[in-house]
Amino acid sequence: MTPQPHEIIHAHIYSAYTARCLQAVADLGIADHIDDDPVPVGELAAACGTDPDALHRVLRLLAAHDVFEQRHGGYAHTPASRLLRGDHPMSARPLARLMGLPLHWHSLAQLPHTVTTGEPGIDVLDPGGLWAYLQGHSEEAETFNRAMTSKAAADIPAIVEAYDFTPFATIADIGGGRGHLLRAVLDSVPAAKGVLFDQPSVIDPLSFPDQPRLTPRAGDFFSAVPAADAYILMHILHNWDDERVARILATVRDAAATGATLLVIENVLPDERPDPTALSMDVIMLALTRGHERTVGELSVLLEGAGFRLTGVTEASGSMRIAEAKAV
């Protein structure tokens, strides 16, 4: 049956509680205590130090959304809930924990202020913004870094499968963090060399003795980046407003030879249809940064202003898209 208008509104109003249940279960590590067989809620509660009735009610709600399954007097895994195990190769537990941190919930609570002023809600917590806040909250920063690594692990296989990196001799991952994407790309292109470029605090502790074709380089992508045949910007541009995006793109263009390739990998909004996941990420950017997700058309304008021409957009997985541009 088609939901009634009030049912649609009510479902969205109450969805915050479902999200919070998911985050609490991830934080408590409940999924790690379930394997192939159902586990009675009393055993789960004892193992995790929780109240049995409260845990049952939380898991029952999640099971109604296909996260866990209630059967044989206990709770078992579904394919979705297995992703909450810490040992899953594509574990979403760090990301769920991140979304439950004060930086997210307190920023979200400031959304009326954000909508009124256009200023990120995180600025109420720290006038310096998200990055300053994380510098002052080391535990949340560590959760943030683990979540970004976790999300990348889920996205990377689809990116490597969707795009052909073989034409490039040198590939630079700009703002590439700990190198998970670049390592996967180099594994798929044995003839290529890679340059991992990020801030000194990220790069200095890293070494890659098992991957001699990967060279770490420290710097600031607002100032200068290394020369390469192809440049990757994954989940970078959406963190910044148009002015700073223009600066980043100009820096890359200064280093790039004519004909070099730039790959912008993030939740590029399709012009022709709404994408709820990408639009949700856009509001997260609204609450946490001065950036936003951009449509293909909006991204094309910024690229052209920096001396690039958009040549195509490749679907990866979910909301992830690879926008390819050439230096002109």
For 150-327, CATH number out of 3.30.450.20, 3.40.630.40, 3.40.50.150, 3.40.50.2300 equals: 3.40.50.150
Q: What is the pLDDT of residue 3?
A: 87
**Torsion (CA) 243, 305, 279, 150 in degrees, nearest 10:** -80
Q: What is the pLDDT of residue 319?
A: 77
Q: Could you state, in chain order, the average pLDDT of each consecutive group of 10 residues for the chain (328 residues)?
A: 90 93 96 94 96 97 96 94 93 93 91 94 91 90 88 88 96 94 95 96 89 95 97 96 97 98 93 84 92 94 98 88 97
For the entire predicted model, the pTM comes to: 0.89
The catalytic position among 77, 104, 180, 238 is 238
Instruction: Work out the burial of residue 66: count CB atoms within 10 Å of its CB; fewer than 13 is exposed, 13-18 middle, 19 or more buried.
Output: exposed
Q: What is the pLDDT of residue 172?
A: 98
Q: What is the pLDDT of residue 7?
A: 92
Architecture of the CATH domain 5-90: Orthogonal Bundle (1.10)
75 — alpha (psi -120 to 50), left (phi > 0) or beta? beta
List the chain domain ranges: 5-90, 150-327
Q: Which two tokens stand for residue 135?
A: 């510098």
Closest among 303, 206, 297 to 248, alpha carbons compared: 303
Active site residue 6: no
Q: What is the pLDDT of residue 229?
A: 98
Q: What is the pLDDT of residue 29?
A: 96
Q: What is the pLDDT of residue 149?
A: 83
